[in-house]
Amino acid sequence: MRALLIEDTLTSATLVSHQLRKIGIDPIVARDGEKGIELFKQEHPDVVLLDIIMPGMDGFEVARRIRQLETAGEWTPIIFLTARTSDADLEKGIAVGGDDYLIKPVSETVLAAKVRAMQRIAQMRYSLLVLTRKLDEANQELTRLSSLDGLTAIANRRQFDETLLREWRRGSRQGRPLALLLADVDLFKQFNDGYGHQVGDECLKAVARTLTSVLRRPADLVARYGGEEFAVVLPDTDITGALLVAEGMRSAVENLGITHRFASSTGYVTISIGAAAVIPGRGDSKSADLLKAADDALYQAKQGGRNRIAASAVGVSP
């Protein structure tokens, strides 16, 4: 443990330094306030012992500046060692950032007890800070996990709903288009029943990775909408752009070449995609119209023979 002793009187500095060494504490001595602040920044002591009456900058100002140097979460105990005995001085010492106020001369026993007490407080405070950081990290991880689908590790339905609402509001404020894709794995029930649930799960994971890989912008989102269905939110995207993304996704999944002997048309796993886009109007509830339009388009793609994309008009006004 190291203590920064800021004391202009040589006799007092020598005596306190001797007392500190006897209790196993290494003293760092400064003879004025400016030097004390400089050493504080350089040495990062465990405790500061500070006189009040010094030439130039007094101890009150030194304590004030030390507290200003500390960043959020940092705290170094400051103990005033002074011959000034008034209640007003004690009150001011605590007000400017001091943690204790001892009257000179201070016995070795009292000094050791006070320093050890401050050390325990500092250790407890550090432990609480570490625990708080761990709790914050755990809460952040829980929040992250709560927004992910457990199987595919992409965004889940909750995250999709929050993102769609957020982007709807942003598009409404800025007058920018918002597109939505709904994708469904073709004949997935037959695939799942024929190959087994474990193979079906691996298929969904591969489709999720592939859909995500097609996207290029951080704001775009692929989410598992439910079962074998996926939703894609595309901010700042009109219907032309949405159809380009949709075709890229459809083609990418087909090119995976996952065998599907129950799909007579291709022999491989494919997806159908419905697309819709609109410049959002006022009212959060109208986002449901965009969702319905994409769902209608998905139905059209399915009815048209699967492994294709389709677009549907949105029944909302800007």
CB 58 within 8 A of CB 52: yes
In the sheet where 2-6 sits, what is the strand order?
26-30, 2-6, 47-50, 78-82, 100-103
CB 268 within 8 A of CB 225: no
Task: Provide the token pair at 15.
Answer: 């005596």
Burial level of 11, CB count in 10 A (0-12/13-18/19+)?
A: exposed
Strands (E), 85-227: 100-103, 178-185, 221-226
Q: Which residues contact 219 (CB under 8 A, 6 or more apart)?
A: 167, 235, 236
Task: Tell me the torsion sign for CA atoms 126, 128, 132, 138.
Answer: positive
Exactly one of 228, 229, 247, 254 is catalytic; name it.
228
The owner of tokens 């100002």 is 61
CB 33 within 8 A of CB 58: yes
Peptide bond into 105 cis (omega under 30): yes
**Measured between alpha carbons, how far is 4 from 63 in angstroms, rounded to an integer?**
12
User: Is 228 among the residues known to form the active site?
Assistant: yes
Q: Which residues contact 28 (CB under 8 A, 6 or more apart)?
A: 2, 3, 4, 5, 39, 43, 45
Active site residues per annotation:
228
